[in-house]
Amino acid sequence: MRSASTFSGGMWRRSEPIPGGRHTRRVTRPAGAVGLASVVLLGACGDAAGPVTPMSEPSSVQAVASRLVVDGAGRYEGEVVSGGVVRRFLVVVPELVPSPAPLVIVFHGFMGNPVEVERDTGMSEVAQVGGFVVAYPEGEGLPRSWRSEPRRGDADVIFIRDLVALLDEAVGIDEERVYAAGMSNGGGMAARLACDAADLMAAVGGVAGAYFFGDCAAVRPVGMIFFHGDADPIVPYEGWGRFLPPIEEWAAGWAARNGCASALPLQQVTADVSLLAWTDCADGADVALYTVADGRHGWPGSPRAGAALRSTDSVNASQLLWDFFAAHPRP
């Protein structure tokens, strides 16, 4: 699989192995010098409660070990040098996965981390059944966040390109089935990839996403799936002035950009979840918006939900994301 950017070095560490597996591959790369960078992105909070076990500290900033080993199915902590900076991530390789494998990248929210978003979404469990590799990259800055707004530069877009290239060499990734999803600030990052990495992404999704106004120079239509609570106090469903767009207008804008036909009649999926969908889109790039009545800033179906994070248990966003992704490979 080809990538528009160059991977300059990386290291994976095995963590909490999953028994079994089919892949064993070793890649050696030159060590790369690294610098430190931090960017604080003010935006929506993806998670504000509950301690989690952090990932291991990154390796020395003097140099990065050049050996990369994926020893079958398992859960791995990894580092990759991107733009001269050490970037970290988690990767889960399920026991049964096709070769080449589909890849789903899941972005944590503002102030979040990979361990947290893996736990709160349950996407690794969906991957075990669905048969896809799932990666959880980590943002930069203190607190950790994503440059979902293009004015903040391209470092995170480049990081994801480097990450996909690394995973392709280690596991073997199907270039027609690379997907991204995220929570809050991470949902905004996934949506940015639909604009700035449309050559890489087959489809993307956002949950309680903090999206931004702006132009999109996508080279091709990209399928989009959104989830949002109409009572979200952090990323309002109705938008926020000139900073955040109304969610329905945002979805309709993507449908127009993707050349979709008129929206289908509103569908009541469950008592508290409705679906607004656009089909007959260019390149099959459909758009779907799930709205949670009285839903707040949370991930539908998450095993954890406090007052500010409450969404709904009547649907599982992780499963619906994968169902949508599986039906929308890159043409």
Asked if residues 198 and 220 have their Cβ atoms less than 8 Å apart, the reply is: yes
Amino acid (1-letter code) at residue 134: V
**Rounded average pLDDT over 112-140:** 96
pLDDT, tens only, 28-82? 333 332 222 222 222 333 333 333 444 544 433 334 432 356 788 899 988 899 9
Quick one: tokens of 227? 């989830």
| Residue 309: predicted pLDDT | 75
Residues, the chain: 331
pLDDT, tens only, 263-311? 999 999 999 999 999 999 999 999 999 999 999 999 999 877 555 578 9
Asked if residues 68 and 166 have their Cβ atoms less than 8 Å apart, the reply is: yes
| Residue 65: predicted pLDDT | 37
Quick one: tokens of 78? 């990894």
In whole angstroms, give the CA distance from residue 231 to residue 11: 42
Instruction: Identify the CA nearest to 311 among candidates 272, 276, 274, 275.
Output: 272
Phi, psi of 245 (to 5 degrees): -80, 155
Q: What is the DSSP string of 281-327?
A: -GGG--EEEEEETT--SS-TT-S---TTT---SSS-HHHHHHHHHHT
**Rounded average pLDDT over 175-179:** 98
Phi-psi group of 235: left, alpha or beta (phi > 0 → left; psi -120 to 50 → alpha; rest → beta): beta
| Residue 215: predicted pLDDT | 77
| E-state strands within 47-184 | 67-71, 74-82, 85-93, 101-107, 133-137, 173-183
| Residue 185: predicted pLDDT | 95
Output helix, strand, coil percentages for the chain, rounded to the nearest 5. Answer: 20, 30, 50
| Residue 248: predicted pLDDT | 96
Amino acid (1-letter code) at residue 97: V
Q: DSSP code of 17? A: P
In whole angstroms, give the CA distance from residue 258 to residue 164: 24
Instruction: Identify the CA nearest to 48 among candidates 295, 318, 310.
Output: 310
In whole angstroms, give the CA distance from residue 30 to residue 242: 46
% of the chain with per-residue pLDDT over 70: 78
In whole angstroms, give the CA distance from residue 61 to residue 54: 19
List C-alpha distances in Å: 199 to 156, 193, 203, 217, 219.
Answer: 16, 9, 11, 11, 7
In whole angstroms, give the CA distance from residue 146 to residue 192: 10
Estimate to the nearest angstrom the gap between the alpha carbon of 220 and the chain centroid: 19
pLDDT, tens only, 180-233? 999 999 999 999 999 999 999 999 999 999 998 777 878 999 999 999 999 999
Domains, the chain, ordered by start:
10-326 (3.40.50.1820)
In whole angstroms, give the CA distance from residue 304 to residue 32: 39
